[in-house]
Amino acid sequence: MSSQKGNVSRSRPQKYKNTKAFKNDKYGATVQVKKANSKIHDGLCQHCKGVLEWKVKYNKYKPLTQLKKCVKCSQKTIRDAYHIICKPCSLQLDVCCKCGKNEEIVIPVNSHLDSNEQEEEEPKRKKGNKRGKKEEEDFDSDEDYDDEDDDDFEDEADFDIDSKPKNTQNKRDVIPDVSLLNVKD
C-alpha cells in the first residue's frame, strides 16, 4: 500500500506475483514437518483451525518441547502448541482450546481416535466370529458321543491304572512352523 496518510486503495496491482505455491516439504520433509503435516487440529473453532493450518502450510508451526500449563485447571496438561486450555477442560466447558471462546468446535476432541478404534475393531470382530464358529463346531462334535463309548473308556481306565501315562505329542507341537515368519533385511 502507499505511504500516504488515509489512502486505503491501491491504484496498481502487486508487482511480484508468485507463479508456484509454497511447499513446506519441497526439499525433503524433516521429522518435524512430517509431524506437523499429519497433525489433526481438534478441539478448535473454525478461525483457530485456519490459523494453525496456515502455520503448518507455510512452515511457521513450532511444536511444544515441554508441557504447558492450562489456564482453567492450572495443571501442566497441554501437549499441543498454541493452545491455552487442555482438552479435558475444553470438553467440560465446551470452548476452543486455542482462543478459549465459546464457539462451535469444528472437529470435536478425540473424534479421530474414535473412528480409528472403530476401524480397528471391525477386523477383530470378524476374526472373533470365525473363531467362535470354529469353537461351536468343536462343541457340537463333543456332544455326539454315545453312552456305549463312555463304558469303553471306564474299562480301559481299569486296565491302565498301573501303567504310566503316555506322553503323546505331535511333531507340529515340537517343531515351530517357520513358513509364517517375515524376515526383514
- pLDDT by position in tens, the chain (length 185): 556 677 778 788 888 888 888 898 888 889 999 999 999 999 999 999 999 999 999 999 999 999 999 999 999 999 999 999 999 999 999 999 999 999 999 988 876 665 555 555 555 544 455 444 444 444 444 444 445 545 554 445 444 455 555 555 555 556 666 677 777 76
Domain that holds residue 88: 31-93
159 belongs to a structural domain:
no
Q: State residue 69 phi and psi, 5-degree precision.
A: -85, 135
Residue where one domain finishes, among candidates 93, 128, 147: 93
Q: Are residues 50 and 87 in the same domain?
A: yes
**Residue 101's pLDDT is what?**
93
Q: What is the dihedral of CA 100, 101, 102, 106, to 10 degrees?
A: -80
Positive or negative torsion for Cα 139, 140, 145, 147: positive
Q: Are residues 37 and 73 in the same domain?
A: yes
9 belongs to a structural domain:
no
46 belongs to a structural domain:
yes
182 belongs to a structural domain:
no
126 belongs to a structural domain:
yes
> How many domains are contained in the chain?
2
In whole angstroms, what separates CA 154 from the centre of its chain? 56
57 belongs to a structural domain:
yes
**Threshold 0.85, pTM exceeds:** no
Q: State residue 105 phi and psi, 5-degree precision.
A: -90, 125
Count other Cβ atoms within 10 Å, centred on residue 45: 20
Name the 3-class secondary structure at 105: strand
